[in-house]
Amino acid sequence: MIVRRASKPIRIGSVTIGGDSPIVVQSMTKTDTRDVMSTINQIKELEECGCELVRVAVPDMEAARAISAIKRGISIPLIADIHFDYRLALMALEAGCDGLRLNPGNISQPEKVKAIALTAKERDVPIRIGVNAGSLSRAADPQLPIAQQMVEAALQQIRLLESLDFDLIKVSLKAFDVPTTIEAYQDIASKIPYPLHIGITEAGTPRTGIIRSTVGISTLLYLGIGDTIRVSLTASPREEVIAGYEILKSLNLRQHGPILVSCPSCGRAEVDIVKLAEAVEKELLKIDKPIKVAVMGCVVNGPGEAKDADVGIACGKGRAVLFKKGEKIRTIQEKDFVGVLMREVEGL
C-alpha cells in the first residue's frame, strides 16, 4: 500500500497538482516554440494520448510571445520553460502561460526572481523551481554531494519566494544518476510542503531511457513521493506520455486505457505470440477503457490469466479459447484472433 506524502495542492490552469489529486502525467514539446502550428499540432497529439500538462521551451522573446497563439489552439494547461533571462518569464506570463519553470542554476538574482514572482502572483501562476544537476549554480557548497547541492539550491530559491509571500510553488530535483535523484527527492520531501515534479533528466533513448526513468520514478512513487511525472526520452513526446501512464498503472496509482497481459512465449507456444501481442497492442492504443486484455501462448498459464482478464485468449495449435469476464465463450480460429478479440474489447 503506497502512502502518498502530504503536499499543498496548487492549480496550473485547470489541473491540480498535489494534495489528493491523481498524479499528473506531463510532457514537453520538441518543436520550435516559435513555429506555432507545429507546436499546436504536437500538443494536440499529446492531448490525444492523455497528456495532462505540457511544457514548451522559451529560448527567446519570439517564443515567449508565441505562447498566446499556442494557448488558443490547445486544451491542456501550458508551462513556459525559462532559463537565463527573467524577461522571458515576464513575457510568457503576459502571453498567458499557466505555469512557469525556472532554473535556479541560471536565474537566481533576488531582484529578478522578485520581478517574476510579483507578476506570477498577480496572475495566480505557479512556479516550478526546476533544479538540474547539470546546471547547478554556485549557491551551494561544491564540496557537498550533488544531491545535497541540489536540495540546497532549491531551498534557497524557496526561501526567496516565501519571503515575497509567494507559495504557488512546485519543485523538481533531477539528475541523470538515479540514486542521486532519489536521495535528493527523499531529502527535500521531508523539508517542504510543496508538490514535487519527479523525473530522471536526459534519460536517453526509449530502449534505455524508459528503464532508467522507470527505476527512478517508480522508486520515488513507491515511497509516496511525487505529484506529477515527466518521463524524459530522446523520442516523440507521445512515448513519454505512454511510458508515464504505464509506470502509474504498474503501481496501481492510475487507470488509463487497457492493460495488456501477454506471456513471453516459449517452446510450448504453437502460434507466434510475439507477433500476435504486438498486433493486439497496436489495436489497443485506440481504446480508452481501463480494461485488462490477455494474450497467452498455451494452456499452462493461458486459461488462468485469460480468465482473470476482461477479455483474453489462450492459444493452441491454429486456434484459441476466448474468455470474457472469467467465462469461456468459444473457440476461435487463428486468422480471427485479433479481429475477434478487438470486437469483444469494443463491446465491453
Q: Is the dihedral of CA 315, 306, 25, 252 positive or negative?
A: negative
Closest CB to ligand SF4 among residues 69, 338: 338
Binding flag, residue 173, ligand SF4 (CB under 6 A): no
Q: Evaluate whether 66 touches 31 at the Cβ level (below 8 Å).
A: no
For 315, the grid coordinates are 492459444
The position carrying cell 523538481 is 172
Closest CB to ligand SF4 among residues 131, 320: 320
Q: How far is the CB of 343 from ligand SF4 (least distance, A)?
A: 23
In b/e form, how buried is each residue of 152-181, taking b as 16+ CB within 10 angstroms?
Answer: bbbbbbbebbeebebebbbbbbbbbbbebb
Closest CB to ligand SF4 among residues 13, 302: 302
Q: Which of 107, 113, 263, 321 binds ligand SF4 (CB under 6 A)?
A: 263
Closest CB to ligand SF4 among residues 138, 317: 317
Q: Evaluate whether 44 touches 36 at the Cβ level (below 8 Å).
A: no
Binding flag, residue 334, ligand SF4 (CB under 6 A): no
CA dist 322 and 232 (Å) reads 38
Closest CB to ligand SF4 among residues 86, 323: 323
CA dist 217 and 244 (Å) reads 9
The position carrying cell 481501463 is 290
Q: Exposed, middle or buried, 270 (CB in 10 Å: 0-12/13-18/19+)? A: middle
Binding flag, residue 56, ligand SF4 (CB under 6 A): no
Binding flag, residue 268, ligand SF4 (CB under 6 A): yes
Q: Which residues, numbered 285-304, are part of the site for ligand SF4 (CB under 6 A)?
A: 296-298, 300-302
Q: Which of 58, 248, 269, 342 binds ligand SF4 (CB under 6 A)?
A: 269
β-strand 127-132 against 99-102: which pairing, if any? parallel
Q: What share of the chain is helix, strand, coil (3-state, %, to 5)?
A: 40, 20, 40
Cα→Cα distances 241→24, 25, 36, Å: 10, 7, 21
Q: How far is the CB of 103 from ligand SF4 (least distance, A)?
A: 47
> How many residues belong to the site for ligand SF4 (CB under 6 A)?
12
Binding flag, residue 320, ligand SF4 (CB under 6 A): no
Closest CB to ligand SF4 among residues 245, 337: 337
Closest CB to ligand SF4 among residues 266, 348: 266
Residue 134 burial (CB count, 10 A) = 11
Binding flag, residue 142, ligand SF4 (CB under 6 A): no
Binding flag, residue 261, ligand SF4 (CB under 6 A): no
Closest CB to ligand SF4 among residues 147, 295: 295
Q: How far is the CB of 303 from ligand SF4 (least distance, A)?
A: 10
| 3 state SS of 19 | coil
Q: Which of 201, 213, 214, 265 binds ligand SF4 (CB under 6 A)?
A: 265
Q: Which residue is nearest to ligand SF4 (CB)?
A: 297
Enumerate binding residues for ligand SF4 (CB under 6 A).
263-266, 268-269, 296-298, 300-302
